[in-house]
Structure 1
């Protein structure tokens, strides 16, 4: 069996699957074994702001990809190398937005399981999707990808 990363990075859309699994696990664990944030009502506003930033980043990145006429689905081949919009600051703004969304929901909803789950989900996305996507982009776009990857961080730093 050959690994043909030039055609598609993954067989499964890991990032949305992991985000949903993390949210469901956080909700379930919050019901079975609550991990509250010490009745921290003052965390609601920062949580709502993180949710808004996460959703805004997701929408901005998806809109940028659509304008570039490239595929948005993480398990399908990239048609174009997108380096504009939020991709100037992060090679993975959608995954960054998803992580901020999970953190924000945890803060706003007072469920610390979301906060625990966000970095775990990000790590799994990195290992199951990002590394494979980078191999796919390198195979597809060569020197252009290499130059972009050298100047733009994977997340934010």
Structure 2
């Protein structure tokens, strides 16, 4: 699962949710104002990852999670609130799209994105960061939660 980056997994899960929704006739929960909330969440979802990307560029460190090493342990910006702002953005994006579309099978996508990042990608990255940055990384993880 590490061979495909999380944005690709997000797209796959969204497409599978759409295919399942289509095959079931786009079943919708009733009574909820889902599209406006979904649209707002899609917009908000871009803030943490874009902020993180800009910060990574400024710090001159690698964005690719499978890179052999990172030049810098980034702990500022969105990393003061969450250790995974890029993955948080993907989960919010998938949830926003699910709300926007409003078909209940689409809600499987954000759950799958969360599960894949939380139990596959993040443990791999945390082990790499711990090997590379040692006590500094441990101090950081003691201060900042994995998600929010």
TM-score (norm 1): 0.85
1:31-81 per-residue CA deviation (whole Å, 9 max, x = no partner) reads: 112453335572111111111111122211111111111111222232211
Which residue does the alignment assign to 2:38? 47
The answer to whether the 8 A contact 2:98-2:109 is kept is: no
Q: Following the alignment from structure 1 to structure 2, what is the Cα–Cα distance between the partners of residues 118 and 104?
A: 9
- Report the aligned-residue RMSD: 1.8
Q: Which is worse superposed, 24-33 or 136-145?
A: 24-33
CA separation of 1:13 and 1:84: change in aligned 2, threshold 3 A:
farther
The answer to whether the 8 A contact 1:13-1:73 is kept is: no
Matches for 1:43-122 after TM superposition, within 5 Å: 43-76=34-67, 77-122=69-114
Q: Following the alignment from structure 1 to structure 2, what is the Cα–Cα distance between the partners of residues 13 and 135?
A: 18
Give the count of matched residue pairs: 147
CA separation of 1:96 and 1:11: change in aligned 2, threshold 3 A:
closer
The answer to whether the 8 A contact 1:99-1:122 is kept is: yes
Structure 1 segments of 4+ aligned residues over 4 angstroms from their partners:
none
Matches for 1:24-43 after TM superposition, within 5 Å: 24-38=15-29, 42-43=33-34
Q: Following the alignment from structure 1 to structure 2, what is the Cα–Cα distance between the partners of residues 85 and 97?
A: 14
Where structure 1 has 5 or more consecutive residues not aligned to the other structure, the ranges are 1-9
1:7-26 per-residue CA deviation (whole Å, 9 max, x = no partner) reads: xxx96244123212111111
